[in-house]
Structure 1
Amino acid sequence: MLSLVLSAELSGITELRPKDTPEEPYFFTFKVQCTSCREIHPNWISFNRFEKHEISGSRGEANFVWKCRLCQRTHSASISTGPHVYYYDDGLKAQRIIEIDCRGLEFVEFKADGDWEAKGIESSTRFSNIDLSEGEWFDYDEKTGEEVSIKEVNWAIKRA
């Protein structure tokens, strides 16, 4: 089991989360490594929690199914919990976003390339289409007359 963990400095906002609905799923993007031969796939892979794929030679299904080109083994991963909300905190406290049940593979790097959303702490203003790919985001809360931001965005993949 792996966890995608986020730490960030939120200013004026809380409840940061990926925009993730069945109609508009969030595609989590990772670099993947085979745990059998340790080969790292050269390309980024993306999957969402709503799509299921059959695992060949098995009755099961998973959100992501991958056959390693080097050792020819089939591996899978499924998002088991999440996405969880990242709440405002005075520090840069790391918080779990999703947990992934991995079989024969590990995710070694994450890329935030989809839309996120959050809410103003004092105004409850909804902010959508937040892009965290550059590691920071700035906007203006009209109701409070204050700048809101997300800075010092750090991602980690940890064993749960």
Structure 2
Amino acid sequence: MLTLHLTADLSGVTELRPDDTSDNPFWYTFKVQCTSCREIHPNFVSVSRFEANDMSGSRGEANFVWKCKSCKRESSATIKAPPISYTQASPPTRQRILEFDCRGLEFTEFKPEGEWLATGLESNSKFAAIELDEGEWFDYDEKAGDEVSIKDLKWEISRN
């Protein structure tokens, strides 16, 4: 099992999460490494929890199936559950966002491409189409009458 963790400084917002529904799937973007030969794929790959791919040899399905170009081994990864919202904490704390069951591969780096959602901490305002590619986000909460932000994002992938 691999876990994606996030540590972030949330100001005025909480419940940061990917916009990930069956009607609008979020594509989690990673660098992938073969655990057999340790080769790292040169490009980022994307995984959706709503996509099912057949594994060769009738071994079932996985959200992501990959064949290493170096050693030719087939590997897979499955997202175990919906993403968990990151809640505002002061000081910022490391929180689990997503868990994967990986067989023969590891994700080594995460890129937060795609749209994210958040909720106003005091106002309950809904914020959508948040982009974290640049590592920070700023907006204004009309109900609260204050600036809101997400910054100092630190993504970590660990084995558990």
Task: Please give the range of the TM-score, normalised by the shorter of the 2 chains.
Answer: over 0.9
When the two structures are superposed, what TM-score results if normalisation uses the length of structure 1? 0.98
Tell me, in whole angstroms, the C-alpha distance in 2 between the residues paired with 1:68 and 1:57: 16
- The equivalent of 2:133 in structure 1 is 133
Tell me, in whole angstroms, the C-alpha distance in 1 between the residues paired with 2:48 and 2:155: 18
Q: CA deviation at 1:144?
A: 1.2
Tell me, in whole angstroms, the C-alpha distance in 2 between the residues paired with 1:74 and 1:59: 11
Deviating 4+ runs (over 4 angstroms):
none
Count of matched residue pairs = 160
Tell me, in whole angstroms, the C-alpha distance in 2 between the residues paired with 1:28 and 1:67: 18
Secondary structure of the residue aligned to 1:7 is strand
- The equivalent of 1:92 in structure 2 is 92
- The equivalent of 2:20 in structure 1 is 20
Tell me, in whole angstroms, the C-alpha distance in 1 between the residues paired with 2:19 and 2:125: 16
Secondary structure of the residue aligned to 2:80 is strand
1:1-160 map, 5 Å: 1-160=1-160
When the two structures are superposed, what TM-score results if normalisation uses the length of structure 2? 0.98
**Aligned residue identity for 1:82:** P
RMSD: 0.7
**Aligned residue identity for 2:93:** K
Tell me, in whole angstroms, the C-alpha distance in 2 between the residues paired with 1:90 and 1:51: 36
Tell me, in whole angstroms, the C-alpha distance in 1 between the residues paired with 2:144 and 2:63: 41
Tell me, in whole angstroms, the C-alpha distance in 2 between the residues paired with 1:101 and 1:121: 33
Which residues of structure 1 form unaligned runs of 5+?
A: none
Instruction: String of CA shifts for 1:78-119, please: whole Å, max 9, x gaps.
Output: 001230010110112010110000000000000000100000
Tell me, in whole angstroms, the C-alpha distance in 2 between the residues paired with 1:126 and 1:54: 37
Q: CA deviation at 1:50?
A: 0.5
**Aligned residue identity for 2:99:** E
Q: CA deviation at 1:128?
A: 0.3
Identity %: 61
